[in-house]
Copies of this chain bind each other. A is one copy, B any other.
Amino acid sequence: MEILTRYLPILDWGCRYRADQLGDDLLAAVIVTIMLIPQSLAYALLAGLPAEVGLYASILPLVAYGLFGTSRALAVGPVAVVSLMTAAAIGNLGPLDMETKIVAAMALALISGVMLTLMGVIKLGFLANFLSHPVISGFITASGLIIAASQLKHILGVDASGHNLLEVLIALGQHMGDANFLTMIIGITATGFLFWNRKKLSPFLRSLGMGAKLADVFTKAGPVAAVAATTFAVYALNLHEQGVAIVGHVPQGIPALQLVTPPWDLMIELILPAFLISVVGFVESVSVAQTLAAKKREQIKPDQELIALGASNIFSSVGGGYPVTGGFARSVVNFDAGAATPAAGMFTAIGIALATLFLTPLLYFLPKATLAATIIVAVLSLVDFKSLGRAWRYSKSDFLAQAGTITLTLLVGVEAGIIAGVAIGIVLVLYRMSAPHAAVVGLVPGTQHYRNILRHHVITSPHVWSLRIDENLVFANARRLEELVLGAVAENKNITEVVLMCPAVSFVDFSALEALEELNQRLEDAGVRLHLSEVKGPVMDRLQRSEFLQELTGEIFLSHHEAMLALDPERFGKEA
């Protein structure tokens, strides 16, 4: 593939664009635009930013993803978890006025965008492996709970916030008395309606004989209906004069493009949160894109996705927005609506831009309680405690990683939660790696096969000790291998020969090489020779680049049986 096409997939699909695809893309764009408007406003409020920032974050990023992305259906923009992480990152900077908060959010998107792009260019996509499934799923569950709790203040019409579930709930408890009755009616009704809309509307419409596809469109329009109805109610009944909080004045028009240049120390403070947002956003987004691509037997390219998400975030910052990533719900809607190419996203961007230009006055009377209801219904579907039960049944250590992530996210906050999850995951991997899979082996009588002495009835030699190593030797398990061998030699003073059987070793790193050299030296000090058998070709090639083979006190045998014949001919000569 040519370099330009590789980095700009639009050149690939763009020149093969057909008229029938245009129709599909336009229809998908209209549906997604309708869905995105209330979501964008709501998530911006969740991030602690003015509602219009959510709209700005839903225009240019979509264009950028259209240019650079490899998924046909992925729809980028503000999403719940990243908005929560943005709120936490900005909150950690201390009390700020709104103008500074916006600058910080733009800076966060810019730094995150540059990081993602760099990671894509130097192919660091594998870093996403730091986030294991249990950790990311635990993190999303906990984030969903925090987000839902944090939105209760809008439903109750009180002022209460915090960085973790505990703080949020305590603040809510303290302000319970200030609850506004009208706001509660709007909030609870909207939440109830949206839950009913999500679970029951589509089956109900189909029971009336409506087609499944059309019923689905009605369901997707539910949030817009809730927005329209409650906005009209506030306007008609002047509810905002009775304490119902509304979105209020949303500036009409699109802000001038600009590159934020926040002070250096602010940038430094944002590096860690930006990195966490980048990795979480990338993992989320790639997972959505892969799910949708597989349905059409298409492929996405993770490293190019990093570049696309990076560009989306840089564009978001330049356009006055905040960190974005690929969202699950909107991408599925885009896919189901028949989006044929990434052009659908670009048309959606035009739709949002038009809405920002012309529809914002209509949002004046939109009650915040309705937006909170939208968020609550959306995020509660992210909460998944079943996974915890499945992890418990499958593996206690994976359960630990997931439960640890959930607990720390809920009790301390999102950044602590995700870092703890990553740390637990890495510690678990190293722990598992630290005990090398290995078995002491002996000869199965009548054959030339060597098997685990614990599982088979086998012949062993009194002075030759054979250990089969069942995995690669790397720094994490090299030290334990040494302990294993030295322990056996210390316990059995008859041993004069140790043979390591290496049929499953396809890699020996430098630490393991040094451990083998040390082992050889220490065994020599103890009067024991060290041999190897069945060493694979590539491993042998690499060992030849060191002095190990010269220093080795024993020999290298092609087969383990040859080794036993040479080292204990009396016993093994007659058996074979």
Contact B291 A133 (CB under 8 A): no
Within 8 A of B (CB), among A527-557: 527, 542, 545-547
Does A431 reach chain B (CB closer than 8 Å)?
yes
Let me know if A575 is at the binding interface, CB within 8 A.
Answer: no
Question: Which B residues are in CB contact (< 8 Å) with A128?
Answer: 479
A264 within 8 A of B: no
A297 close to B515 (CB less than 8 A): no
Residues A134 and B510 in contact in the complex (CB < 8 Å), given A294-B526, A297-B489, A302-B483: yes
Surface stretch bound by B, among A94-102, A365-373, A393-401:
A393-401
Contacts of A546 in B (CB 8 A): 390, 393-394
Q: Sort A-B residue pairs by CB-CB distance and give the 9 closest, nearest first.
A: A294-B522, A398-B510, A132-B475, A133-B511, A126-B434, A299-B490, A295-B525, A132-B511, A133-B514
Give the segment of A191-199, A207-215, A346-354, A422-430 that binds chain B: A422-430
**Cross-interface CB contact of A290 among B299, B394, B471, B486, cutoff 8 Å:** B486
A298 beta carbon closer than 8 Å to chain B: yes
- Proximity string of chain A (129-140) to chain B, C-beta cutoff 8 Å, 1 when within and 0 when not: 110111000000
In the complex, A435 Cα to B302 Cα: how many Å?
Answer: 14
A411-426 contacts to B, CB under 8 A, are: 425-426
**A515 surroundings in chain B (CB, below 8 A):** 133
Chain B residues contacting A297 (CB-CB under 8 Å) are: 489-490, 493, 526-527
Q: How large is the interface on A (under 10, 10 to 19, 20 to 34, 35 or more residues)?
A: 35 or more
Does residue A506 face the partner (Cβ distance < 8 Å to B)? yes
State the oligomeric state as a number of copies: 2
Our pick among B290, B399, B431, B510 for the contact of A126 (Cβ within 8 Å) is B431
Tell me whether B133 and A486 are in contact (CB under 8 A): no
In angstroms, how far is the closest chain B Cβ from the Cβ of A396?
A: 10
Contact status of A545 and B294, CB under 8 A, knowing A483-B302, A507-B432, A509-B398: no
- In the assembled complex, which residues on chain B have CB atoms less than 8 Å from the CB atom of A293? 486, 490
Chain B residue numbers with a CB within 8 Å of A398 are 509-511
Question: Is there an interface contact between A522 and B299, defined as CB atoms closer than 8 Å?
Answer: no
- A selection of 24 A-B contacts at a CB cut-off of 8 Å is A126-B430, A126-B431, A126-B434, A126-B435, A126-B480, A128-B479, A129-B476, A133-B510, A290-B482, A293-B486, A294-B523, A295-B525, A295-B526, A297-B526, A297-B527, A299-B486, A299-B487, A394-B513, A395-B509, A399-B510, A429-B430, A432-B474, A437-B506, A471-B472
A491: Cβ under 8 A from any B Cβ? yes
Residues of B within 8 A of A568 (CB): none
Question: Which of the listed residues A133, A474, A487, A527 has the most CB atoms from chain B within 10 Å of its own CB?
Answer: A133
Shortest distance from the beta carbon of A359 to any chain B beta carbon, whole Å: 37
Cα of A310 to Cα of B78 in the assembled complex, Å: 50
Contact A430 B130 (CB under 8 A): yes
Whether the Cβ atoms of B522 and A290 lie closer than 8 Å is yes
Q: Does A470 contact B (CB under 8 A)?
A: yes
Interface centre among A297, A391, A472 (most CB of B within 10 A): A297
- Give the docked Cα–Cα distance between A545 and B138 (Å): 20
Q: How far is the CB of A245 from chain B (nearest CB, A)?
A: 40
CA distance A295 to B129 in the complex (A): 42
A433 close to B (CB within 8 Å) = yes
> Which residue of the partner chain B has the closest CB to A495?
B297
Additional pairs, 4, CB under 8 Å, beyond known A295-B525, A394-B513:
A297-B489, A297-B490, A395-B542, A429-B476
CA distance A426 to B430 in the complex (A): 9
| Contact between B134 and A511, CB atoms less than 8 A apart | yes
Q: Please name the residue on chain B nearest to A128 by beta carbon.
A: B479
**A48-90: which have CB < 8 Å to B?**
none
Residue on B with the closest CB to A399? B510
**Pick from B291, B490, B504, B514: contact of A298, CB under 8 Å:** B490
- Bound form: Cα–Cα A390–B547 in Å: 9
